[in-house]
């Protein structure tokens, strides 16, 4: 291995050495503890330390780094106390995740490190959002994100790099190519000769370096980061390296030919650098031994101190509360005159007010800029707020939702538009595993609203008309809003934008231009989680939301002889249990109506809760009226037969007659 010290003095070389040596010695201690049964799992980065250490030292302390689970050197080079790291690995209450997650699955704003989740690729999109926030704010900073050669096959890898390339984001995408994805060798992972060649496909620079050479890593990253701060654009770096242990210790290394171990043992990043420094007389055998002895003593002390830290105490109330970032709703009452506007215009108005109120709010979605969006909701917004904050996106829902979370991490708010709610499947992982769990895991808000144009009635068929709210109502950490009226749509969307938690905001497409109502000008909010009693009655209660509210109102107009209590939930997570219980007690007969399919729709949760908590007030079984358990058809006659509306009369008659 050839080292080039360039203009580095002895003190700099010695600092690089100690930063490189320390995580190696920590790992060696972890392997001893693993054999002793004092820790349960370890992902070793032995052999790869030069990448984590060299790249981290090349970054400013104010710049974010998004590492993987084999990058201990990132955390130690940012001077996180080993006791704190050890507490995290042991699941102690003093760890970063309070025992809720393991390994490096956490972030820390103090040290500007954002850890991964087990799905590997999604953190790359977070890096895009973090860098975008810096770019909009005019900060001359860059963001560094790690990935492995195996994860380059994931869609998240390609989406994130493409977005960064199109938007000229200052992101360093660093691939640690250690030859194996768990046990699968690279020839079974990809066909290209070198992963760095993929950079050309995105129109960005690609550089391949020796990942075991600490000076080459440090110098290359330092040079790239400095250029990127002055001239923002992404770069792809492939670091060639090898892990000398298994994917994790239990998996072993039997799948690796011995000759590969022998070859890479000669390229050990710590050993090779030691030999160079001895040759340069920066180190002596005596000074090296002294450094190692000091480290060993310190490591022992920190590790043992961490073992004495308190274990978490199970408290369900605390766990439930920590699923969401603290937010005290402060109502903003309407104080301006009302005019009659359409449902779609109420959403436009809310977005416009939100953008004016929050200068750190960014809108992202397909075709939302000059074109104004598929439904023209953001028409004219580019002229008002500029392209930096009203951003057309490539067709890559996962990357854009992830970028929204990255924006939130770096001090911004994001509203992401799904062109149709159906397309959210392509961003599902980011929503249910990143947005929903981030605050619970390490206390960071996920200040993102995902707008979801949803529902049937327009003959748009199986991929543009689904009611998919139930995919998300069971996911703790998300808030789900589903307004039925223009007044509610505006007030709830403004409340969602103010809320630091992730909100999925369902907007019924059929109502966009078919429904109008009185809506106050100016800002006002409605509390998420509060239902609206639309009409009072004493014969039966209909509990519904979205288009179901209008089906119920239409039926009530046609049947004035019935005294129906109509409750519009408006929010599905959290939902208004008190209002539901009151409706049950008032009439003793309950029909749950929704547009979604019957089996496992949100109505099933309502029915179960009512049966469990309000049984003594029921005069009849809780009944559900929902759409057929099929995909939604395109044909108007088939769609009408599919929808719950076609069974509403029959359901009400059955309930009244019971």
Mapping DSSP to helix (H, G, I), strand (E, B) and coil, where does residue 379 land?
A: coil
Burial 2-13 (b: 16+ CB within 10 A, else e): ebebeebeeeeb
The full length of the chain comes to 658
How many whole angstroms separate alpha carbon 365 and alpha carbon 401?
A: 10
- From the list 618, 506, 632, 509, the residue with the least C-alpha distance to 569 is 506
Where helices occur in 452-565 by DSSP H, the ranges are 470-473, 486-498, 511-514, 547-558
- From the list 331, 330, 332, 389, the residue with the least C-alpha distance to 356 is 389
The DSSP 8-state label assigned to residue 151 in this structure reads G
Interior angle at CA 424, CA 412 and CA 367, nearest 5: 65
Sorted by sequence, the CB contacts under 8 Å of residue 282 that are 6+ apart come out as 10, 13, 14, 17
- From the list 602, 333, 604, the residue with the least C-alpha distance to 478 is 602
Mapping DSSP to helix (H, G, I), strand (E, B) and coil, where does residue 157 land?
A: helix
Yes or no: say if 276 and 5 are a contact pair by the CB < 8 Å rule.
no
How many whole angstroms separate alpha carbon 68 and alpha carbon 55?
A: 13
How many whole angstroms separate alpha carbon 21 and alpha carbon 289?
A: 12
Mapping DSSP to helix (H, G, I), strand (E, B) and coil, where does residue 586 land?
A: helix
Structure tokens at 377: 């909701």
Mapping DSSP to helix (H, G, I), strand (E, B) and coil, where does residue 125 land?
A: helix
Beta-carbon neighbour count of residue 338 at 10 Å? 12
How many whole angstroms separate alpha carbon 624 and alpha carbon 78?
A: 56
Mapping DSSP to helix (H, G, I), strand (E, B) and coil, where does residue 416 land?
A: strand
Beta-carbon neighbour count of residue 656 at 10 Å? 14
Beta-carbon neighbour count of residue 70 at 10 Å? 28
Distance (Å) of CA 218 to CA 277, 283, 320, 527 = 16, 20, 43, 51
Structure tokens at 535: 């009409």
How many whole angstroms separate alpha carbon 91 and alpha carbon 94?
A: 8
Backbone angles phi, psi at 237, to 5 degrees: -120, 130
Please give the positions annotated as active site. 464
Sorted by sequence, the CB contacts under 8 Å of residue 653 that are 6+ apart come out as none
List 568's β-bridge partners, or say none: 532, 544
């Amino acid at each position: 291995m050839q080292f080039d010290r360039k203009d580095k003095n002895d003190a700099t070389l010695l600092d690089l050495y100690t930063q490189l040596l320390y995580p190696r010695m920590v790992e060696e201690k972890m392997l001893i503890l693993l054999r002793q049964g004092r820790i349960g799992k370890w992902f070793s980065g032995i052999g790869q330390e030069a990448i984590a250490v060299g790249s981290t030292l090349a970054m400013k302390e104010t710049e974010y780094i998004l590492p993987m689970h084999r990058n201990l050197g990132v955390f130690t080079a940012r001077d996180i106390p080993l006791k704190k790291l050890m507490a995290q690995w042991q699941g102690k209450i003093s760890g970063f995740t309070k025992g809720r997650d393991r390994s490096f699955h956490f972030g820390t704003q103090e040290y500007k490190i954002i850890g991964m989740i087990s799905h590997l690729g999604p953190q790359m999109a977070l890096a895009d959002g973090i860098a975008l926030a810096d770019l909009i704010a005019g900060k001359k900073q860059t963001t560094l994100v790690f990935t492995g050669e195996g994860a380059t096959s994931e869609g998240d890898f390609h989406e994130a790099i493409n977005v960064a390339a199109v938007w000229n984001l200052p992101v360093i995408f660093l691939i640690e190519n250690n030859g194996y994805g768990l046990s699968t060798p690279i020839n079974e992972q990809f066909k290209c000769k070198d992963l760095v060649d993929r950079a050309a496909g995105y129109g960005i620079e690609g550089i391949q370096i020796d990942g075991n050479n600490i000076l080459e890593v440090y110098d290359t990253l330092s040079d790239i980061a400095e250029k990127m701060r002055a001239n923002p654009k992404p770069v792809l770096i492939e670091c060639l390296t090898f892990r000398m242990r298994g994917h994790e210790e239990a998996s072993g290394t039997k799948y690796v030919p011995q000759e590969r171990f022998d070859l890479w043992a000669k390229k050990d990043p710590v050993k090779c650098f030691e030999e160079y420094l001895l040759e340069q007389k920066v180190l002596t055998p005596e000074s090296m031994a002294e450094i190692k002895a000091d480290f060993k003593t310190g490591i022992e002390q920190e590790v043992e101190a961490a073992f004495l830290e308190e274990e978490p105490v199970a408290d369900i109330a605390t766990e439930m509360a920590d699923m969401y970032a603290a937010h005290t709703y402060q109502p903003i009452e309407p104080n301006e005159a009302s005019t009659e506007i359409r449902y779609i215009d109420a959403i436009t108005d809310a977005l416009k007010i939100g953008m004016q109120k929050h200068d750190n709010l960014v809108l992202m979605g397909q075709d939302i800029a000059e074109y104004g969006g598929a439904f023209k909701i953001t028409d004219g917004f580019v002229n008002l707020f500029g392209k930096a904050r009203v951003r057309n996106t490539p067709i890559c829902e996962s990357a854009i939702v992830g970028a929204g979370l990255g924006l939130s991490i770096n001090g911004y708010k994001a509203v992401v538009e799904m062109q149709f709610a159906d397309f959210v499947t392509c961003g599902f992982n980011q929503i249910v595993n990143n947005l929903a769990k981030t605050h619970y895991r390490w206390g960071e808000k996920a200040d993102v609203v995902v707008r979801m144009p949803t529902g049937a009635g327009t003959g748009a068929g199986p991929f543009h008309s689904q009611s998919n709210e139930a995919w998300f109502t069971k996911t703790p950490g998300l808030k789900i809003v589903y307004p039925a009226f223009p007044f509610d749509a505006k007030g709830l969307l403004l409340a969602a934008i103010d809320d630091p938690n992730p909100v999925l905001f369902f907007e019924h497409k059929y109502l966009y231009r078919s429904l109008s109502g009185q809506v106050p000008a100016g800002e006002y909010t409605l509390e998420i989680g509060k239902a609206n009693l639309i009409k009072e009655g004493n014969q039966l209660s209909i509990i519904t939301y979205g288009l179901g509210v209008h089906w119920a109102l239409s039926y009530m107009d046609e049947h004035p002889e019935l005294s129906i209590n109509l409750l519009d939930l408006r929010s599905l997570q959290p939902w208004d249990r008190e209002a539901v219980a009151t409706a049950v007690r008032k009439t003793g007969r309950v029909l749950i109506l929704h547009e979604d399919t019957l089996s496992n729709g949100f109505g099933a949760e309502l029915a179960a809760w009512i049966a469990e908590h309000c049984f003594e007030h029921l005069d009849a079984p809780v009944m559900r009226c929902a759409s057929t358990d099929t995909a939604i058809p395109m044909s108007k006659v088939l769609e009408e037969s599919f929808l719950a509306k076609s069974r509403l009369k029959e359901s009400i008659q059955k309930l009244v007659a019971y």
